[in-house]
């Protein structure tokens, strides 16, 4: 399985690493673990605003979660490159945490987060199978509909 | 301290690993760390629905958190078995994250999550003492009252 | 860079480790990783109560997040001392998770969490640059305005 050629066959071009909106960095490497910061969904460079149960459907937010996954892969590639490697060196996607901007009654956070999880399976096959938590948050920075953080092993 | 015999003395039978409701796996092993997915509370095989501050008491949700703990131990046992070990090989319960389905005014998430934390102490004694975060979420997948994720070391 | 002398120049005296409000411990060490429990903001020894978007400003909560950071450093120092080291042995602040008690419309969780992130940069310089997630929760234990958990590497 070659992650980079999988991305090509999916017609995905990795974005450059986004500049964090605050006083932190996009990733931190500790031993063979790469911790990626929570990435919010973006559209045309700005926060992809929305709240599930109020003004956005599960399908729309699943698309947003897939877009977050592409941004996470851009950051993961940059993290790998910072130590002279690339996405093909990823041994395992270990864990995702999917935060879904939700009203008190919306209960499909797991279906939304699948947008990111399924991308990892497409790109990394078995190496993409990961542990995960998904839940509904009261709000997210800049009103984003979805935020996802990731841990990978190299 | 023998975790398996402790479970027996507590009359706890470990459940089989639940099939995730979405595109992920119940656990991921990286080095000597086992990352367990967020497990939602279940009753009779379905989501244990409830929102604290609205239609469920702290004591009821603490019972639900203990049930999540039993499910987490079932998954942890399966994770250990996948590498030829069992629960007695667990070196340490490292961290829990307790997500409690809460109204904007309910403030006893720590007491709810104790249902799981106290089980870990009963089963693993000192090896069960863990770091933890507990907080109130807007909603959880399928309306569950509690979701807990865990990191263990073998 | 000497973290302890930096603390001195910032006129920060580290607090003793707080007793957890529930059945867990303030930190767990696994290999060279230190996992710190979620610490809630405190004022005069009690929970620093507040909800962003309702009765507290971003600036006030940022001050609370900085106070949490000081408490986290007190716990991290105790964790280091438990293995014969001190804060100067910290190799890296790896990750923060910032939980901000928010109404459904408050969207500046990242600015609040900066109160803790900026402290880490002041105390540890480059070693303080960390991955991070920040989001709005429905409520926190005892009504606290902010809760932050941390992972550090020694």
What domains are defined for chain C? Answer: 3-12+25-153 (3.30.1330.40)
Query: Considering CB atoms only, which of B30, B103, B140 is closest to A92?
Result: B30
| Percentage above 70 pLDDT, chain B | 99
Q: Which two tokens stand for residue A43?
A: 């559209």
List all chains that touch chain C, counting a touch as 3 or more CB pairs closer than 8 Å: A, B
Mutate to test the interface with B, among C94, C138, C144, C147 (most CBs of B within 10 A): C138
Specify the DSSP class assigned to residue B83. Answer: T
- As a whole number, mean pLDDT of residues C114-128 equals 96
Write out pLDDT tens, residues A111-127: 999 999 999 999 999 99
With a CB cutoff of 8 Å and minimum separation 6, the contacts of B98 are B65, B109, B112, B113, B116, B132, B133, B134, B135, B146, B148
Amino acid C1: pLDDT:
64
Q: Which helix (H) or strand (E) holds B153?
A: strand B146-153
Residue A34 backbone phi and psi in degrees, to 5: -110, 120
- Nearest-Cα distance to chain C for A28, in Å, is 5
Q: Binning pLDDT at 50, 70 and 90, where does residue B18 land?
A: confident
Radius of gyration from C-alpha coordinates of chain C: 15
- Nearest-Cα distance to chain B for A76, in Å, is 17
- As a whole number, mean pLDDT of residues A84-106 equals 97
- As a whole number, mean pLDDT of residues C48-63 equals 98
Contacts of B103 in chain C (CB under 8 A): 138-139
Radius of gyration from C-alpha coordinates of chain B: 15
* Mean pLDDT (chain B, rounded): 95
Q: Pick the closest to residue C96 from C64, C126, C118 (CA basis).
A: C118
Write out pLDDT tens, residues B50-67: 999 999 999 999 999 999
Amino acid B21: pLDDT:
73
Write out pLDDT tens, residues A119-154: 999 999 999 999 999 999 999 999 999 999 999 999
Does pLDDT of B19 surpass 90? Answer: no
Mutate to test the interface with A, among C112, C132, C154 (most CBs of A within 10 A): C132
User: With an 8 Å Cβ cutoff, are B138 and A103 in contact?
Assistant: yes
Strands (E), C5-125: 27-30, 33-40, 42-43, 46-47, 92-101
Identify whether the C-beta of residue B16 lies closer than 8 Å to the C-beta of residue B74.
Answer: yes
Write out pLDDT tens, residues B31-54: 999 999 999 999 998 999 999 999
Give the global pTM.
0.96
Dihedral-angle region of residue A11 (phi above 0 means left; psi in -120 to 50 means alpha; beta otherwise)? left
Write out pLDDT tens, residues A40-88: 999 998 999 999 999 999 999 999 999 999 999 999 999 999 999 999 9
Report CA C4 to chain centroid distance, whole Å. Answer: 17
Identify whether the C-beta of residue A138 lies closer than 8 Å to the C-beta of residue C138.
Answer: yes
- Nearest-Cα distance to chain C for B107, in Å, is 5
Using CB atoms and an 8 Å cut-off, which of residues 109-148 of chain B contact chain A?
137-143, 147
Whole-complex ipTM? 0.95
Query: Considering CB atoms only, which of B32, B53, B132 is closest to C38?
Result: B132
Identify whether the C-beta of residue A146 lies closer than 8 Å to the C-beta of residue A65.
Answer: yes
Write out pLDDT tens, residues B116-152: 999 999 999 999 999 999 999 999 999 999 999 999 9
């Amino acid at each position: 399985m070659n992650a980079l050629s999988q991305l090509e066959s999916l017609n995905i071009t990795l974005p450059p690493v986004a500049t964090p909106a605050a006083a932190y960095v996009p990733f931190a490497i500790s031993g063979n673990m790469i911790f990626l910061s929570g990435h919010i969904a973006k559209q045309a460079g700005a926060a992809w605003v929305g709240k599930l149960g109020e003004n956005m459907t599960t399908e729309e937010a699943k698309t947003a979660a897939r877009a977050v996954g592409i941004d996470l892969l851009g950051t993961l590639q940059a993290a790998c490159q910072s130590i002279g490697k690339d996405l093909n060196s990823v041994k395992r996607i270990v864990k995702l945490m999917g935060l879904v901007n939700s009203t008190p009654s919306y209960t499909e956070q797991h279906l939304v987060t699948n947008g990111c999880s399924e991308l990892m399976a497409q790109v990394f096959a078995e190496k993409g199978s990961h542990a995960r938590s998904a839940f509904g948050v009261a709000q997210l920075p800049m009103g984003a509909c979805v935020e996802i953080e990731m841990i990978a092993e190299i």
